[in-house]
Amino acid sequence: MAVLHDLLEYQKVDADLRKIEQEISASEERKKYVQAKKFMETAAEKLEAQDKRAVDLKRAAQNLTARYLDIKKTISEYDAIEEHVDGSGDVVSYYKRSAQSLADNLRALKGEINKLIAEISSACEEYDKMKKQTIAMQKQYKEYSEKFKEVKNSHADEAAEINARLQAIEKKIDPDIMAKYKQKRKEKIFPVLVPLTDNRCVCRMEFAIAQQSKLEGGNVIECEHCRRFVYKQ
């Protein structure tokens, strides 16, 4: 029973520490700090993607411009076709049809160029927007990292006192059980120890008679469903 008593005492004190942790975690200073930190962690990758997009758009613009100039030059060679081509009207008609086809291609190409211009404009706006966001987040990160430190420091003495009490209690608990407790706590499982109620864990997992017998004498067993430690009151 002493083992269970020490574990429950440890959890009771640990609840006070968790309360402080939750207060710090819910603070506006931490939220702003984490927001800026996450943005800064991905900013370099996003800017690199923007640079790659700019290179691709530039290459596409160069290719379209080259095609446009090439078609325009070919069309100019058809301007006085009747004066330069000897032969029947069929030959002249053929060249005129070819010229018309080129003109149609040129119009389609102009449409592609206009679409690309709009895409380049959008990319520039997006880049400018991200640049402004990055500058703002750099400022926010610097400001709120300091404010977040102040929030943590304001609870430092109280947290240190609680940790000292936890360490004193921990010395009386089996190291293996303590290690499992801390791992569950790290995984945001709390409370770690819960009483068996109506033959069930708090997660509603039912314990067989054989399992319940293991709880006699102040022992605890791990719930197969929620992984909490279960004890018998």
Q: Give the pLDDT score at 2.
A: 61
Residue 5's Cβ-count burial label (10 Å; 0-12, 13-18, 19+) is exposed
Domain ranges of the chain: 2-173
Collapsing DSSP to helix, strand or coil, 79 comes out as coil
Q: Report whether 125 contacts 17 (CB < 8 A).
A: no
pLDDT in tens, 59-69: 888 888 888 78
Q: Give the pLDDT score at 100.
A: 75
Euclidean distance between CA atoms 153 and 87, whole angstroms: 96
Backbone angles phi, psi at 107, to 5 degrees: -65, -40
Q: How far is CA 43 from CA 29, 54, 56, 69, 126, in A?
A: 21, 16, 20, 39, 13
Q: Report whether 229 contacts 7 (CB < 8 A).
A: yes
Evaluate if residue 201 carries a pLDDT over 80. Answer: yes
Euclidean distance between CA atoms 121 and 127, whole angstroms: 10
Distance of CA 232 to the CA centre of its chain: 42
- Percent of the chain having pLDDT more than 90? 51
Q: Give the pLDDT score at 53.
A: 81
Euclidean distance between CA atoms 33 and 143, whole angstroms: 8
Domain topology for 2-173? Helix Hairpins (1.10.287)
Q: List strands edge to edge, sheet with 221-222.
A: 193-195, 229-231, 221-222
Helix axes 89-154, 28-76, angle to 10 degrees: 170
pLDDT in tens, 94-129: 666 776 787 787 788 788 888 888 888 888 888 888
pLDDT in tens, 155-194: 999 999 999 999 999 999 999 999 999 999 999 999 999 9
Q: Give the pLDDT score at 36.
A: 93
Q: Give the pLDDT score at 17.
A: 97
Evaluate if residue 84 carries a pLDDT over 70. Answer: no
Tokens of 52: 């790659």
Query: What's the pTM?
Result: 0.67
DSSP letter (8 states) at residue 221: E
